[in-house]
Amino acid sequence: MTKRIGLIHAVLPAIGAVEAAFESIWPDPERASLYDQSLYLDLAPDRSLTPVVYARIAALIAHSVESGADAVLVTGSLFGPAVLAARAAHAVPVLTSFEAMIDEALALGTRFNMIATSAGTNALLEEELAAAGKAAGKTLALKDHFVPGAMELVQRGDQAGHDRLVLDAAGDLGDCDAVLLGQFSMAPVRPGIEERAERKTLDPAEAAVRRLEAMLAP
């Protein structure tokens, strides 16, 4: 029986990125996307999650499950705490944007460069990495890199401009066991980052699809 994956997005570029990952890795399931731009609009001024956003994430996850999803993936990088708060209410798997990528990263080593195009992403990724590393008994060395202006370009449809900024930043990442991308919308430029940085590069879209396939494929 065909599986259905519920996908929850806060930015349009994430939709194309995760669809491309499914087509490349596991094209079999149905994908049902929910796009809610208000998730980012209703963040606090410091980009933290407000009670309104917690409630909306919970409602979107519930809607996906009620619509027949066998699993739900929230692609927004800033919404992990709200996803974790909501998923215990559901019997189906509900994934944050980062957790699959973090597990893949820890299998590769302990030294990571994080690169993000949305303010606040690296702090949350670092927090989740540190918690996962502690649980695994590993001491991590983390370096974060923020690419200002790139997210605004891709949201305006300027993929080429976005890619140029990200690739320029990737040239200065330095030595590490892997480069970790903070946004689903960065997935199209992952091969270029890997070539420029000369390091294994993981993006959350592909990692999440691999995790979902491992969990649900017959």
pLDDT score recorded for residue 172: 78
Q: Cβ contacts of residue 163 below 8 Å, gap of 6+? A: 188, 189, 192
How far is Cα 147 from Cα 85, in angstroms, rounded to an integer?
A: 29
Q: Tens of pLDDT along 65-90?
A: 999 999 999 999 899 999 999 999 99
Pairing of strands 4-9, 178-181: unpaired
Domains of the chain: 4-97+206-216 (3.40.50.1860), 99-203 (3.40.50.1860)
Residues of the chain above pLDDT 70, percent: 100
With a cut of 90, say whether residue 197 has pLDDT above it. no
- Cα-based torsion angle of the residue sequence 129, 63, 69, 80 in order, rounded to the nearest 10 degrees: 0
137: left (phi over 0), alpha (psi -120 to 50) or beta: left
CA distance from start to end of the chain:
9
10-49 pLDDT, tens digit each: 988 899 999 999 999 999 999 999 999 999 899 999 888 9
Q: Calculate mean pLDDT across residues 129-146.
A: 93
pLDDT at residue 17, rounded to an integer? 92
The H-assigned helical ranges of the chain are: 12-25, 38-41, 51-66, 80-87, 99-106, 121-135, 150-155, 159-170, 190-197, 204-216
Q: Quote the pTM value.
A: 0.93
Checking if the pLDDT of 173 tops 90, the result is: no
pLDDT, one tens digit per residue, over 84-133 is 999 999 999 999 999 999 999 999 999 999 999 988 899 989 999 999 99
The three-class DSSP label of residue 112 is strand
What pLDDT is stored for residue 167 in this prediction?
Answer: 92
Tell me what the pLDDT averaged over the chain comes to. 93
Beta bridge partners of 181: 115
